[in-house]
Amino acid sequence: MVHFAYGLLLMPAVRELMAARMPAQGLWIWLMPVLFVMSHSVIYELVEWVAAEVFGGDLGVAYLGTQGDEWDAQKDMALAAAGAVCGLLLTELRGAVTGKG
């Protein structure tokens, strides 16, 4: 739930930042904010993995919190991407309704 919420709640700020700093055209208007959130999700999972390697053994496994699921990192990143897509859609819908596209 936290990973989905990360993508969902971060998207309005990311969309505004992208529009102000690097105005895109065409499909990139939609892709860049989502890819931005997805890249942060990947970086977080890599940092988490490195920390687990440094701690090692049972402490590293406990830190990861995968509960034996070898696909936990991929699921976390997919949830963040899904939240980002939902957040982007909601942001764009809000902009269309209020006229602040």
pLDDT single digits (tens) 45-94: 898 888 888 888 788 777 777 677 778 889 999 999 999 999 999 988 88
| pLDDT at 26 exceeding the cut of 90 | no
Instruction: Give domain status of residue 25, yes or no.
Output: yes
Give the pLDDT confidence score for residue 61 in this predicted structure: 74
Using only C-alpha atoms, the chain has a radius of gyration, in whole angstroms, of: 16
80, 3 in Cβ contact below 8 A? yes
What is the count of structural domains for the chain?
A: 1
Place of tokens 């690097």: 22
Instruction: Give domain status of residue 21, yes or no.
Output: yes
Instruction: Give domain status of residue 73, yes or no.
Output: yes
Instruction: Give domain status of residue 57, yes or no.
Output: yes
Give the pLDDT confidence score for residue 101 in this predicted structure: 57
Instruction: Give domain status of residue 98, yes or no.
Output: no
Instruction: Give domain status of residue 100, yes or no.
Output: no
Q: What is the mean pLDDT of the chain?
A: 86
The amino acid present at 81, given as its one-letter code, is: A
Which percentage of the chain shows pLDDT scores above 90?
Answer: 40
pTM of the entire predicted model: 0.80
**Helix 57-64 and helix 28-55, axial crossing angle in degrees, nearest 10:** 150
For residue 38, what are the domain limits? 2-93
Instruction: Give domain status of residue 53, yes or no.
Output: yes
The amino acid present at 84, given as its one-letter code, is: A
